């Protein structure tokens, strides 16, 4: 996946973070490195045409802000994968950064589903440079009232969390939330 020409600035300094298509600068953002979430004083994205967006950062200790990152997913009972609406934005500041996902299946859901979370893998290019390939990794499966989670490789990427869900109780679908 080819990144956009947008640039991430942290504490006023430009970075080499790859901003992926679909990155939502209006969504709450979590900054991560190889040890997990980190605090930064100032976070912004400058688009290729010069538009500056100050990002709203989510502190990992701010439960109210983290609650705003929960996003719904639906898996109709068709036996095919469905992609969720985007959740919170994640900005990785180290090549080995990983992003965590948590998910639930609604208690009232009669069906069961399996979920995959979006991540990115580094691919080193001949002659130098790095490309970031999007992939989806398994986060687990469950029925009504279940919960789970997992981690995916993220790297030095600015993107927005997304899950894919598959109902394995055809024709009954399933629904839930993720962050």
Residue 39 confidence (pLDDT): 85
Question: Are 3 and 133 spatial neighbours (Cβ–Cβ below 8 Å)?
Answer: no
Residue 63 confidence (pLDDT): 66
Q: What is the pTM of this model?
A: 0.91
The answer to whether position 2 is within a domain reads no
The answer to whether position 1 is within a domain reads no
The answer to whether position 127 is within a domain reads yes
CA dist., res. 100 & res. 175, Å (int): 20
Rg (CA), the chain: 17
Helix count and strand count (H, E) for the chain: 1, 17
End-to-end alpha-carbon separation of the chain, Å? 23
Residue 64 confidence (pLDDT): 67
The answer to whether position 32 is within a domain reads yes
Residue 48 CB-density burial (10 A; 0-12 exposed, 13-18 middle, 19+ buried): exposed
* Tens digit of pLDDT at every position of the chain (179 positions): 889 999 999 999 999 999 999 999 888 899 999 998 888 889 999 998 999 999 988 776 666 666 778 999 999 999 899 999 999 999 999 999 999 999 999 999 999 999 999 999 999 899 988 889 999 999 999 999 999 999 999 999 999 999 999 999 889 999 999 99
DSSP assigned state of 57: B
Residue 137 confidence (pLDDT): 98
CA dist., res. 142 & res. 105, Å (int): 7
Could you list the residue range(s) of the whole structural domain that residue 159 is in? 7-58+70-178
Residue 36 confidence (pLDDT): 85
Residue 77 confidence (pLDDT): 92
Report the number of distinct structural domains present in the chain. 1
Structure tokens at 144: 């009504």
The answer to whether position 64 is within a domain reads no
Q: Which of 62, 133, 120 is nearest to 91 (CA)?
A: 120
Residue 26 confidence (pLDDT): 87
């Amino acid at each position: 996946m080819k990144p956009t020409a947008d640039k991430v600035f942290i504490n006023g300094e430009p970075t080499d973070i790859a901003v992926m298509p679909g990155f939502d600068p209006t969504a709450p953002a979590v900054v991560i490195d190889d040890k997990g979430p980190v605090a930064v004083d100032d976070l912004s994205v400058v688009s290729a045409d010069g538009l500056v967006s100050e990002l709203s950062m989510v502190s990992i200790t701010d439960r109210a802000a983290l609650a705003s990152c929960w996003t719904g997913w639906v898996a109709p009972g068709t036996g095919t994968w469905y992609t969720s609406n985007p959740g919170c934005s994640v900005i990785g500041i180290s090549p080995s950064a990983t992003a965590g996902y948590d998910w639930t299946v609604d208690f009232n859901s009669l069906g069961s589903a399996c979920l995959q979370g979006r991540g990115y893998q580094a691919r080193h290019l001949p002659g130098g440079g790095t490309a970031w390939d999007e992939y989806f990794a398994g986060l687990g499966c469950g029925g009504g009232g279940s919960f789970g989670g997992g981690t995916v490789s993220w790297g030095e990427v600015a993107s927005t969390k997304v899950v894919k869900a598959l109902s394995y109780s055809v024709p009954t679908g399933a629904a839930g939330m993720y962050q």
